[in-house]
Structure 1
Amino acid sequence: MNSDFLDIPQGKIASVVTHLEMREKPEVAPHPAPAAELVFHARPELDWYRDLFSRIGADWLWFSRLGLSDAELASVLNDDRVHVYSVRVDGRDEGMLELDFREPGECELGYFGFTPAMVGKGAGRWLMGQAIAKAWAEPITRFHVHTCTLDSPQALPFYLRSGFTAYRRQVEIADDPRQAGILSPDRAPHVPIIPAD
């Protein structure tokens, strides 16, 4: 079997991105709600959003929204077709669900995740049920999401179990956000930093 290796420039990170979709609403077994509430945020406050985004995703190198200016981030979050929810536990937001309806007839599961305090408590199945119900309550014919090899290893199997089907893979190369000053260097220790020359 032949293998091809591609060099990744120093100072960069690379991941394999898997794109998934569902073309019709699946049957979703009800999952008991955790001791939490799902809260809709019509116009999320930017510092609040960045804090929650970081607490959920920094160790998985979620960085795309953190590199946006206030104006760029506000233009996304204040769009009526982007629905941002938090999972609130004892008055503190510990999870995020973001549904993006900006493409007509489609919904993208933009962001979905929990802080470490919620991982392993079964809240993911409940939140995915909420996501599927809210997405398919709109006039869509496609619900889609993508994940990558930098994300939690639980993410891809979870999406597949939830009814999504993989249809495409790509390789993404980006500046390492820890070297670009977007995330602190101690984040994602499972991904070694290879400094740029």
Structure 2
Amino acid sequence: MSLDGYTAVPPTHVATVVTYLEMREPPPLRTGDRLPLAPIGAEIARYRSLYGAVGAPWLWFGRARMGDNALAGILGDPDVEALALTEDGRDIGLLELDWRRPGEAELAYFGLVPEAVGRGLGRRLVDEALRRAFARPIGRFWVHTCTLDHPGAVAFYRRSGFRAYARAIEVTPDPRLTGDLPRDAAGQIPLLAD
């Protein structure tokens, strides 16, 4: 069986290559001022607003497809921490850590609003994620990213100390067609069916 070639994707769907990365011990962290992070807790509207501001340009849909009760169940879990990076009273970054699997932590969601990208905040925010993740007794910290995310995401995570260990292809209904995201989200990804 050959794995080479193309696979058709229905016009109502999108496809992406997912890269999984991990680290088994924390890398040396830079010192300096800590970022102003605010717990989001059970503030579903705040979480959804920030998730959309960070993720809509990249077609993030996981939490957008989730109902409020399911999302509240995750955010209310004591082994999940959702934090907002704030600047001048405005949420500009999202950091969500998940320790629900024994012995490991997942960097579940991580990103900045578009106007905050390129200012060094991502580097400082990932350092904070590393501090928090390894503050608990874990043997593995992992994250996944995909070709729908920022083009520099894999390189950024590798520079941060993560090592790529697996890839997968995800095919899913286009969230702009299901109504989970606005039709004008992620304009760099063509909308094929109306």
TM-score (norm 2): 0.95
Q: Does 2:34 correspond to 1:38?
A: no
Q: Does 2:78 correspond to 1:77?
A: no
Give the superposed CA RMSD.
1.4
Deviations 1:3-52 (A, max 9, x none): 4110011200000000000011111233555xx511123x2311111000
Using the TM superposition, name which of 23-32 and 86-95 deviates more.
23-32
Q: Is the CA contact (8 Å cut-off) linking 1:30 and 1:126 kept in structure 2? A: no
Paired-residue identity, %: 46
CA distance in 1, matches of 2:52, 2:72: 17
Number of equivalent positions: 192
Structure 1 residue identity aligned to 2:158:
L
**Equivalent of 1:51, from 49, 52, 64?**
49
Deviations 1:65-86 (A, max 9, x none): 0111111111111101001111
Q: Aligned ranges for residues 1-197 of structure 1 at < 5 Å?
A: 3-30=4-31, 33=34, 37-41=36-40, 43-195=41-193
CA distance in 1, matches of 2:118, 2:68: 33
Is there any run of 5+ residues in structure 1 with no aligned partner, and where?
A: none
Return closer, same or farther for 1:17/1:159 CA change in 2, 3 Å cut-off: same
CA distance in 2, matches of 1:136, 1:53: 24
Match of 1:80, SS state, is coil
Return closer, same or farther for 1:151/1:12 CA change in 2, 3 Å cut-off: same
TM-score (norm 1): 0.93
Return closer, same or farther for 1:71/1:6 CA change in 2, 3 Å cut-off: same
CA distance in 2, matches of 1:51, 1:183: 12
Is there any run of 5+ residues in structure 2 with no aligned partner, and where?
A: none
CA distance in 2, matches of 1:32, 1:125: 12
| Cα shift at 1:184 | 1.2
Match of 2:179, SS state, is coil
Deviations 1:113-132 (A, max 9, x none): 11112111100111111110
